Amino acid sequence: MLKYILPIFVLFLFSCSSPVVEKMTSPELTLEMEGPIYEGANTAIGVWKNPLEAWLKSKNIDKEKIKNIKIVSVKFQPNSPLSEKDLQEITLQLTAKSADMQKIAFLNPYPPKTGLVDLKVAEEQNHILELFLSPELTVVADVNINKDFEENLSSKIILEFEISYQP
């Protein structure tokens, strides 16, 4: 009898284990605005194809085992000729064909600091998992600029997020 109870207990113990949480960082993503660009509100767009594919393969995990994804950090940097002096504010959103647009970060006013700047991450994050499981994640930045540009402009962002999954 004991030889049946022990395996059942072990199976029960492992099935009730809590999710594992890991931090992951995106590659450097490029957001582009097509010129001419005028003073005021403008939109920059970037695409991240199969955002979790390599991670899932490296961990040998099925996507169904992922329980939650939470954005914990967003870093933004304008590329020349756009500079921090040209920016007034920024709002960053994610969207995909299979999910609604979700605001993930913002910064107002934009600081006079060069290099990567930390945006304020949105407290409310809905449907982030659904977005990341999409084959193509679109990053949309609404950027207020204080002068005109004739040429195309770009910026880069880096996302850091936590993935909770059942082992």
Question: What is the value of pTM for the model shown?
Answer: 0.86
Q: What is the pLDDT of residues 11-59, one digit of tens each?
A: 454 555 799 999 999 999 999 999 999 999 999 999 999 999 988 999 8
Q: What is the pLDDT of residues 100-153, one digit of tens each?
A: 999 999 999 999 988 999 999 999 998 899 999 999 999 999 999 999 999 999
What's the CATH fold of domain 20-165?
Answer: Jelly Rolls (2.60.120)
By CB neighbour count within 10 A (0-12 exposed, 13-18 middle, 19+ buried), where does 164 fall?
A: middle
Q: Report the b/e string of 30-40 with b at 16+ CB within 10 A.
A: ebebeeebeee
Kindly list the domain boundaries of the chain, sorted by start residue. 20-165
